[in-house]
Every structure is written in structure tokens, then in C-alpha cells.
Amino acid sequence: MNKYLRFAKETAYEAGRILLRGANKPHTIDRKGIVDLVTEMDLKSEKMIYRAIRKAFPSHSILAEEGSSRDTDSDFRWIVDPLDGTTNYAHGFPVWCVSIALEKCGEIIAGVIYNPNLDEMFYASKGNGAFRNRKRIHVTNESRLSDAFLATGFPYDIRETDIDNLDNFARFYKTARAVRRDGSAAMDMAYTAAGIFDGYWELKLSPWDTAAGKLLVEEAGGKITDFSGSDFDIFGREVVCANAKLHKQMLSILQTG
């Protein structure tokens, strides 16, 4: 295991323990938008991760959700979501995680998603496969959309726009076996990589939501693109991932509208 992946795992674990100790306690909740929340624990987790990166890799850049970003003009950039699933966390719903990825010259080379509630550590490094608690994982082999168990989410501006994913949700719900919306994009991508979900799609996400998940899905043998089928960009606004056969069927649904 390379030093970057080892560091990401250790740091995600420590941040997860901090969050777990603070779970189910009263929180200070602020709003970044109508339904987009941030708690004092998001900030506490991000501060810990930021300091750890600065200490271990002082020359590296950092892109973090809650503002602890730093551009050093380095080839390396850490992409951090200190608490993905903040609304779940704030309400005591135990579906949330820590996501940390490392990008080198625009390519994700290491990614970790840690779910403290089940002590699940998902991790991958470029070219070395994807793992869940030291066991190698693979995307599902499901080839029929009618038998597929899918996941998705909805954008924070759902009350303000017609581009809200509700049309896609309706089409998939009438086509697939089931669709789940659990409120954590990173967890959805990790579970797709692990073959729990057969596929996942969403729109209007941010780089820290998808950077680690992208590598996990790819290293688990999955295909990940935007809705047009073009290469997925963590700075893009659309993501769909599954095994190759199911991915093609999911694209046909997403392109219907």
C-alpha cells in the first residue's frame, strides 16, 4: 500500500471517529442554502483533515467542501468531504461518511470512503483494485435493468429548478427493481463499487462528493460517465455508474428526456 493511500485511510478513520463521538448529540446547524446544511462537526472534521494533510504533505494543494482549500500549484491535490450526508448526520440517521481522494496532475490516484457507523473502509489506488475492509470488491454482474437495485439523490436547488432529477427518478422507478435515495453520494458510489447497488446516477454534485467514489467504481470494474456517455469529470454536473451492460441501459433511460 502506498504512503498516500495509507495516509488517507488513517486520516479518514480518525475523522470518522471524531464524527461518531459527536453523533446523536445536539448540533449547531447553519444553512448554506434552503436545504443545504453544515454542522459544527463538518468543520471539526475538516479542520482535523486539513491539519493532517498540511503536516504530512505541506506542499500539496487541498480542495475541501467547507472552505479549507489551499492552492500551492502542486501536482498533488487532496479532495476532501469531511462529512458526506450532513443532513442525515444532523437528524441522527446513520448514513454518512468521510471521503478523501488524492489527485495527481488531474488524475485521481487514491481514494478512501469511510463509513464509521458500520466501520466500513472502502479504498482504492490507481491500478491496484478496490477494497472494503481488506477484501477486494467488484461491481455487480447484473445485466437486466428490470432486476437492478439502484441509488440516486436530488440536488439542493430542487425547489428552485426544473432540472431536479425527479423525471429520471420516475422513469427508473417504473423500470428497475427498486431505487433508493439515502442522502450520501459518496456512500452510494462506494456501495455501487462493492456490488450492493447495481448502479447509481445523480446530478449537480461537487468534486468532493465524487472524487474518491470515481476511483472506487473504476477499480471495481465499473463504468462511470456523464449522462451523454462521455468521460466523467469530477467537476462535471452528471454522474452515472454501473457495470458496462447495465450502464448502457441506464444511459438510455437518462437520455429519454
Q: Identify the band that residue 38 occupies on the pLDDT scale cut at 50, 70 and 90.
A: confident
The domain ranges of the chain are 3-134, 145-254
d(CA 163, CA 69): 29
Domain 145-254: state its class. alpha beta
- Per-residue model confidence (pLDDT) at position 161: 87
pTM: predicted TM-score of the whole model, two decimal places: 0.95
- Please check whether residue 109 is in contact with residue 160, taking contact to mean a CB–CB distance below 8 angstroms: no
Residues 17-33 have pLDDT tens digits of 999 998 987 677 676 55
Cell of 131: 477494497
d(CA 200, CA 238): 11
- Please check whether residue 29 is in contact with residue 36, taking contact to mean a CB–CB distance below 8 angstroms: no
Q: What CATH code is assigned to 3-134?
A: 3.30.540.10
Residue 206 reports pLDDT greater than 50? yes
Measure the CA dihedral 226/99/34/178, to 10°. 60
| Nearest Cα residue to 243 out of 179, 194, 171 | 194
- Please check whether residue 77 is in contact with residue 63, taking contact to mean a CB–CB distance below 8 angstroms: yes
Residue 208 reports pLDDT greater than 70? yes
